[in-house]
Amino acid sequence: MSNRIDDTSENEDIEIRLLLEAIYLKHGYDFRNYSNAHMKRRILQRMRISGLDTIAEMQYRVLYDHEFLKIMLSDFSINITEMFRDPLFYKTFRNEVVPILKTYPFIKIWHAGCSTGEEAYSMAVLLKEEGLYERAQIFATDFNVNVLRKAKEGIFPIDIIKEYTHNYQVAGGKASFSDYYIAKYDSVIFDQSLKEKIIFAEHNLVTDGVFGEMNVILCRNVLIYFDKELQNRTIKLFLESLSNGCFLCLGSKETVKYSEWADHFDPFVENHNIYRRKLNS
């Protein structure tokens, strides 16, 4: 019995590799170095929902059915986010990084893997309160055009605002969070002024190139879904996209410490995974 289970699992792994290879060769989206456990979970779930019997059937659908491809891309996209997610990170960023940013004449910030945009809007609020928004440019990118569309709208369900308000307060917010949105029916619409300095754009961390001369790069809770090789490639991309002496902010379970590029960064606030690119590195 155990041999049969092992064979089934091995066959599934082979079929998943073939499916991801087909997506890359046909459509150019590269998920081959995403975490195997993450991809397997998402693929098997979609297979059950779609009533398909095998991953091989999914491969056929992906090659010949563009609408099914869109569904698969949405499945693979990591869309877990919220306003001021991990609020103590934002409080630390406000207290430790912002004073240095205030010495810069102009600030460029890249939110890589921005999903539906809540964290980019959070940064816009923080910069407004610190008097930096008018000399900042925020680039918010994701490979998923559907979540980017939602991000550009800046409309979120009203039932999560209580949680977002709590996060804002813990993050050191200096006003009333309700100042930044209007409630309409079952949604809230964020103040249009928060979008003035945000550019939402399609960018794939796996296949696209350098996003250069950034003062801050935030990529929080994305690298955990990549394998070791892809993590290394992405950290190299961030290194090449950062100006000397500038800041890389990762998620609570992410680090540059074990990457090939660790020597090019200094820990700035280590317990919140804020790193600074070494001068002339």
CA 136/CA 205 separation, integer angstroms: 23
* Phi and psi at residue 183, to the nearest 5°: -90, 135
**Amino acid in the structure at residue 5:** I
Q: Does domain 87-277 have CATH number 3.40.50.12170?
A: no
Domain boundaries in the chain?
A: 2-76, 87-277
Mapped onto helix, strand or coil, the DSSP state of residue 220 is: coil
What CA–CA distance (Å, rounded) separates 172 from 246?
A: 23
Report the C-alpha gap between 30 and 205 in whole angstroms.
10
Return per-residue pLDDT of the chain as tens, 281 residues: 445 445 567 788 889 899 999 988 888 888 888 888 888 888 998 989 999 988 989 999 989 998 898 888 888 877 778 999 999 999 999 999 999 999 999 999 999 999 999 999 999 999 999 999 999 999 999 988 888 999 999 999 999 999 999 999 999 999 999 999 999 889 999 999 999 999 999 998 888 888 889 999 999 989 988 889 999 999 999 999 999 999 999 999 999 998 999 999 999 999 999 999 998 76
Single-letter residue type at 75: D
- For residue 108, the cross-strand partners are 137
CB 117 within 8 A of CB 142: no
As beta bridge partners, residue 142 has 202
Give the pTM. Answer: 0.83
